[in-house]
Every structure is written in structure tokens, then in C-alpha cells.
Amino acid sequence: DVNVMKDVTLGFGQALDKCRQESQLTEEKMEEFFHFWRDDFKFEHRELGCAIQCMSRHFNLLTDSSRMHHENTEQFIQSFPNGEVLARHMVELIHACEKQHDHEEDHCWRILHVAECFKQACVQRGVAPSMEMMMTEFIMEAE
Ligand code: BOM
């Protein structure tokens, strides 16, 4: 559900600062990771794909070929409150998106396109958190 996605996004987003330098993702290209869920967010910067790769590595969610590590990703999602209700489903959504973009050889571009596909799938299934939810929680966490 949307609350689980909100928590997982904020958890995953904790790695953004660490990954900014190596991915060259400037604040101008993405200020905070939760902007991912904005309706008008554009998936156009290769640097964002590189940053998501770095962030996924940080949590040990990728295989050697920079594909999703299914077991680790499921466990990561399960580590959030009520994560078990969405973990399997999210892994399946991401994997379906990976299959669609498997021909893309550049890891950063491929991951960017997988991320966009994953967001669309979440929106379609009604599990995408609203920006209002994301902002509120983000501000509460900062205080
Ligand atoms: O083939 C590489 C797989 C990369 C996965 C990309 C999925 C992207 C997600 C970005 C949004 C994340 C929100 C929550 C984290 C879920 C693990």
C-alpha cells in the first residue's frame, strides 16, 4: 500500500547523499529522492540511473550484472513496517520492468528506464505515494 511505498522510498533515499558525487547527480537534477513520485517528474538524466545503481549497491540490492537481487530486495522491503504486504509484489513489478529493458547495455540508462517503468506500474496499481504524503513525512523526519 501507499504507506509502505512511502517508507521504503524514504529509506532508500537515505543513500542519495552518499551517491551524489559518484553519480554526478546535482541538486538541480534531483533535489530530494522522493521527488521521484511527482506527477511531472522527468526521467531524463542518465545521472539519476547511476545514482539509483549506487543507492541499490549501498543496500546490497544488485547482482554482479547490475540486475535486482531478488532475495535481498525482498528482505529490504520487508524491513519496513508492513513491508511484507508489498515485498513480493514490488520485486515482481521491478523484474517485469527489467525484462522489458534488458536489451539496454548501459547500466545507468537501463536502471533509469526500469525505475520509470516501476513508477508507472505503481501508479497504475494505486501504490504510488502522493507528493503530499512524501513532503509531510520528509519534513517530520527532518525535525
Ligand atoms: O535492473 C536494475 C534494477 C534497479 C531497480 C530500479 C527500481 C527503482 C527504483 C527507484 C525507486 C525506489 C523506491 C523504493 C525502493 C525499492 C527497492
Long-range pairs of 24-33 with CB within 8 A, sequence gap ≥ 24: 24/50, 25/50, 25/51, 32/138, 33/9
pLDDT at 50: 98
- Measured by CA distance, the residue closest to atom 3 of ligand 1 is 68
Residue 141 Cα to ligand 1 middle (Å): 22
Structure ipTM: 0.92
Give the domain ranges of the chain.
Answer: 2-142
Atom 12 in ligand 1: residue holding the nearest Cα:
9
The mean-pLDDT minimum among 66-70, 94-98, 107-111, 131-135 falls in: 131-135
Residue 102 has what pLDDT?
97
Considering the chain, what percentage of its residues have pLDDT values greater than 70?
Answer: 100
Instruction: For residue 53, give the ligand 1 atom closest to its CA.
Output: 4
Instruction: Give the pLDDT of residue 143.
Output: 83
Secondary structure in 3-state letters for 109-140:
HHHHHHHHHHHHHHHHCCCCCCHHHHHHHHHH
Confidence tier at 37 by pLDDT (50, 70, 90):
very high
Which ligand 1 atom minimizes the distance to the CA of 61?
Answer: 17
Nearest CA to ligand 1 atom 10: 115
pLDDT for 142 beyond 90: no
Instruction: Please give the helix or strand (H or E) that residue 106 lies within, else none.
Output: none
pTM, full prediction = 0.96
CATH-assigned architecture of domain 2-142: Orthogonal Bundle (1.10)
The alpha carbon of 136 and the centre of ligand 1 are apart by a number of angstroms equal to 22
pLDDT grade, residue 73 (50/70/90)? very high
